[in-house]
Structure 1
Amino acid sequence: MHIAEGYLPVAHAVGWYVVATPFIVHGAVQVVKETRKNPENKLLLAAAGAFTFVLSAIKLPSVTGSSSHPTGTGLGAVLFKPPVMAFLGTVVLLFQALLLAHGGITTLGANAFSMAIAGPWVGYGAWWLVRKLGGRQELGIFLAMSLADLSTYCVTSFQLALAYPDPTSGIAGAAAKFLSIFAITQIPLALMEGILGILILKFLARVAPADLLRLGVTRGASDDEAKEAAHV
């Protein structure tokens, strides 16, 4: 990850563009709505995109010549919901392909689907479930960040397996091989990314508590009181 330029067959590259485009377009619409509805969120929105760019640009060597890196999309998904990250993440991937040769234009659709679409939805789903069950915010952001990271690599492994199935064990066997290659470095990275998410959330709670409350990331006093009353 990211899948390198020209690595996917043409049909697969086009297919992933087709799959990813509706999510990206919808995300662009949501970004416009968000900035018009809450102009004060523009700075935090830009920070979420920059955070994803910086974190996902850190490439660490893995085995067999591949590489692993954090994704950073879980934080933006928690702050602004997954559709917004579909657009922001794709912009990040485009700039990385053009400026850093990290990923590619032909593989942009596949990379966007794994990192900007699937990852944020899985991360946000974990965050939402923890909140629904009354769990601590620290656990929610930890799972959001780490699972957004891990799910990105699971989807990438499946994309590569579809393109290059194993001659003997087919797609499932190829997916298992790609997953095992990434797992050595990606699992520790995902756990560290989850811890980083906790630290960032605590920092934002200190410097921008009103923003987190407005975005629905943290609960107001009335919400906490109502929750306590429900248990009485």
Structure 2
Amino acid sequence: MHIMEGFLPWQWCILWYAISLPVIIYGIIRIMKVADELPESKPLLAVSGAFIFILSSLKMPSVTGSCSHPTGNGLGAILFGPWITTVMAAIVLIFQALLLAHGGLTTLGANTFSMGIIGPIFAWLTYKGSIKLNLPISIAVFLAAFLGDIMTYVTTSFQLALAFPTPNLIAAASKFMLIFAYTQVPLGVAEGLLTIVVFENILKLKPDITEKLNLLIRKPTSTR
């Protein structure tokens, strides 16, 4: 999903930066608030960020100018909400661009928008909706992680189509989504299953912290 350095026209690079930067700033404010109110949550912040970094570094070739990989954004969105996850994703994307030649600085705004904003928002809303529907916790986590992953790539498809609308926007976006789907649907399923394992272990090891986090993001959690 990482759009590579120099691939997008400069006008689109500026637009995606302009959209993503305010969200990153708000996410930083949210992190400071959570760290102040619940300092024992800092290790979970690190775990969530590391989860994004590790999974999103496992790339394979896909659409020209991009790639396929898990995103890892569902776990952070479930635990801390989408805005904090935006900051974690942005930090990961900066490190990957500088150290792994994965993505780029000119496309950082676009990549943050897809993997750090849209993906986490869908993951968070899916998890909250699943809990309200009284679905089992494992199903809620799976759906959140899976849809967070898939919507990241749907967003990237439209970003590429907006920049290169040949023959038109819908046709171009459909083409990109179809190519991504061959690798991303299986990866999304695998990511959902892995996120269940990690999340359930967090609940077992840190039940007190997760209960307090759940209050902060206004969602109930139960292991039953």
- Assess if the C-alpha contact under 8 Å between 2:3 and 2:67 holds in 1: no
2:214 matched to 1:206?
no
Identity of aligned residues (%): 47
Separation in structure 1 between the aligned mates of residue 222 and residue 80 of structure 2, nearest angstrom: 18
Distance, in Å, in 2 between the alignment partners of 1:93 and 1:104 is 8
Q: Mind listing any 5+ residue stretches in structure 2 that lack a counterpart?
A: none
Q: 1:66 to 1:7 in 2, by over 3 A?
A: closer
- CA RMSD between the two structures: 1.7
Partner of 1:38: 38
- Residues 1:24 and 2:15 aligned together: no
Cα drift, residue 189 of structure 1: 0.3
Q: How far is the alpha carbon of 1:63 from its aligned partner? A: 6.8
Larger radius of gyration: 1
Pairwise CA distance, 1:64? 6.5
2:98 is the alignment partner of 1:98: yes
Write out the 4+ residue segments of structure 1 that deviate beyond 4 Å after TM superposition. 63-66
Aligned partners of 1:212 and 1:218 also within 8 Å = no
Residue 176 of structure 1 corresponds to 174
Deviation at residue 67 of structure 1 after TM alignment: 2.6
- 1:42-94 Cα offsets, whole Å, 9 max, x none, are 11111111110111000123477853100000100000011101111111111
What is the total number of aligned residue pairs between the two structures? Answer: 220
Shift in CA distance, 220/84, structure 1 to aligned 2, threshold 3 Å: same
Deviation at 1:197, TM superposition (A): 1.2
Q: Which runs of 5+ in 1 are unaligned?
A: 225-232
Q: TM-score by structure 2 length? A: 0.94
Write out per-residue CA displacement over residues 160-213 of structure 1, whole angstroms, 9 at most, x where no aligned residue. Answer: 00000113xx01110011001100000000011111111112211221122222
Distance 2:197 2:56 in 1: 18
Paired letter, 1:209: P
The alignment status of 1:124 with 2:124, answered yes or no, reads yes
